[in-house]
Structure 1
Amino acid sequence: MYRKVTIQDIANMVNVSKSSVSRYLNNGYVSEENAKKIKEAIEKTGFETNFFAKRLKMKRSKLIGIVLPRIDSVTVGKLLTGINSRLEENNYQGLILISNLSIEKELENINSLYQQGVDGIIINAIAITKEHIKLISRLNVPMIFTGQKSEFVNCIKIDDYEAGRIMGNYFKEKGHKNIVFAGVTEEDKAVGVERKDGFINAFKHNNQESSVNFVETGFSFEKSYEMAKEILKYKPTGVVCATDNICLGILRYLHENNIKVPEEISVAGFGGYDVGSVLYPTLTTIAFDYDLTGVKTAQGILDLIEGKELEKDNEVTLRLVERESVRNF
């Protein structure tokens, strides 16, 4: 039966200690005579092809840890596609851990990946808390965040405030006055604060008698469907959803209750999901290039591993996609 060659096997073959073999693999001091014997034994047995032997000798695992908040998300899927494409080009592999929208789990996952010896860690963060900053300050491994931003860590992310601002100006130009913003908790600074604030500030600027009410729906289709009744209590002319996925739940509720979009109420979102182009009516949205964000994030972690500074130009293009779900008011 085939058995993998171990460090102990090499040590026994050349009559040296196991620690001597380990030092050789890790570029430590070994006498010239023993180094020659160990090298010959490795070549003879094929031990050099063992992943962990290579890792020790190169001081690189060729693994990048990736911490994701959830896996059942269109945006996460596109982000991961971009990350993976750039890592593969550079002969790296991703090791993925899921936090299930738990900050505590996210911190555990970062620490776990560090202990597994990855070369760098990408965090598609739920938030960047004081605990995050404390943890990464004591872990000696390159890290980069996406999805959230902080002056204390390396980040590459979409400009959520600017996305909100674009949508706010759009609804103002369409003549709307009474909007409900359907969104998420402010614990999520990017989507729950920046995106919402960008919209409200732009929409209300020089727009007399305008109002924006907020209804918390969370990210899920199911929860947004449940909260649609609460949204309608404000009698809005339009509903702006923090993500396209939130729009799907609200549109379903409106359809079931024979409320016509956009004739009776306008609906728009953020994300640019493909499904928005096949809905009826088709969905107006701010399209984000999550794939490109993933590529830039992966390149960022590779640069940090090589001791390079992050590129200053890390902006990702935002694009208003005007379709059928919003009308002039």
Structure 2
Amino acid sequence: MADQTRVPASRRVTINTVAKAAGVSIATVSRVMSGSSSVTPDLAARVHKVADELSYRPSSAARGLVLGSLRNMGVILPDLANAYFFDVVKQMHHGATADGYRMLVADYSGDAADELATALDLLGQVDGLVLLSSRIPTSGLKELARQSTPVLLVNRVELGVDLPMVAVDNFTPMMELCGHLAKLGHRRIVYVKGSDLAWQNRERWRAIEMAKVLGIEATAVPSDGTIEGGYDVVEEALTHEPTALVCFNDLTALGVISKLRERGLRVPEDISVTGFDDIDMARHLAPRLTTVVSPKIDLGDQAWSLMRAALNNETTTSPPLISADVVIRESTGPVPS
């Protein structure tokens, strides 16, 4: 057997190499490597022995074709630099790994058409696709819903779209955040927006607009949910003479506070600032950031639970919105006299 399995180092060991060395067909090696019970134990042991001696590692793509599953899970998200997305994906990864899947993560330019093109391209390479904070228009989501590969929406709720979805409640905690500011005497605020294509941004702005019942007048200024975007928009925001800046997320708030310091404005003595998501840096700023604690672990767990059900063709109902809590820290204070 030793002579049969000696292969020159320059040659790549393939399934054909193993089949010839073991004296069996390629189909038999394929069945053995996929764990098929149709091969006798003695023959399976012989094939495994030869494969081990040759240091053969079967192609996951080829094995996927035999099993009807690639064991790959795709995830598309807007910004790989945002720690919030990383935490959610990491939690989904725990579930995927336990179920024998590897995750392929991709971001895109921020353009909805680019996201849709990326999604359609990935569908042929994965068993399921997760769209995290997707910006694809509903027409594109309906196109994805017609595909045979399961697609899951995370952090977006769209009525009339036949896709499983799970999201964090953005409206209620933003209303609570506005209530906190109103109690401190704030009446004129500026909302530093995220992308207009983001469902979370629309929900947060909807809550801020509703806060007029609390006596709050709000103006929105465009930004993009990044540190630099928050930094760049402060000059425009201050022209509205706000007493508080409500930021789309914590990254935006980091940039806002940095620029306010350059302007010689103290937070919160001169102006209050809030964020959303409670990324790790939010707790280590000076002052520490008042924000909303987004339940990233629960979101990741529920997302994978829904995807597992879709992969198994199980009928599920999407869970209600996951609640999120406001955490009050030192970046908000009373309106300056």
What TM-score comes out, normalization by structure 2 length?
A: 0.83
Q: Counterpart of 1:287?
A: 293
Q: Counterpart of 1:261?
A: 267
Matched, 1:178 2:183: no
Q: Counterpart of 1:235?
A: 241
Counterpart of 1:286 in 2: which secondary structure? strand
Aligned AA (2:251):
N
By how many angstroms is 1:104 displaced?
2.3
Q: What value does the CA root-mean-square deviation take over the aligned residues?
A: 3.0
CA 125–267 in structure 1, closer or farther in 2 if over 3 Å, else same: closer
Aligned AA (1:6):
I
Q: Counterpart of 2:6?
A: none
Q: Distance in 2 between matches of 1:73 and 1:178?
A: 29
Q: Deviations over 1:198-227 (max 9, x none)?
A: 1220x21152xx311111122121122121
Asked whether the 8 Å contact 1:21–1:38 carries over to 2, the reply is no
Quick one: which of 146, 168, 177 aligns to 1:138? 146
Matched, 1:122 2:134: no
Q: Counterpart of 1:273?
A: 279
Aligned AA (2:106):
L
49-58 or 242-251, which deviates more: 49-58
Structure 1 residue ranges without an equivalent (≥5): none
Aligned residues: 316
Q: Counterpart of 2:170?
A: 160
Matched, 1:198 2:198: no
Structure 1 residues 60-71: aligned runs within 5 Å:
60-71=69-80
Q: Distance in 2 between matches of 1:89 and 1:9?
A: 30
Matched, 1:310 2:316: yes
CA 14–114 in structure 1, closer or farther in 2 if over 3 Å, else same: farther
Asked whether the 8 Å contact 1:128–1:150 carries over to 2, the reply is no
Q: Deviations over 1:160-217 (max 9, x none)?
A: 22232221222222221111111123222222x111111220x21152xx31111112
What TM-score comes out, normalization by structure 1 length?
A: 0.84
By how many angstroms is 1:327 displaced?
1.4
Q: Distance in 1 between matches of 2:270 and 2:79?
A: 35
Q: Distance in 2 between matches of 1:206 and 1:14?
A: 80
Q: Percent identity?
A: 19
Asked whether the 8 Å contact 1:158–1:315 carries over to 2, the reply is yes
302-311 or 150-159, which deviates more: 302-311
Aligned AA (2:334):
N
Asked whether the 8 Å contact 1:241–1:247 carries over to 2, the reply is yes
Q: Counterpart of 2:253?
A: 247
Q: Distance in 2 between matches of 1:309 and 1:173?
A: 45
247-256 or 133-142, which deviates more: 133-142
Asked whether the 8 Å contact 1:219–1:245 carries over to 2, the reply is yes
Q: Counterpart of 1:319?
A: 325
Aligned AA (1:54):
R
Asked whether the 8 Å contact 1:5–1:45 carries over to 2, the reply is no
Q: Distance in 1 between matches of 2:319 and 2:308?
A: 16
Aligned AA (2:207):
G
Structure 2 residue ranges without an equivalent (≥5): 1-8
96-105 or 240-249, which deviates more: 96-105
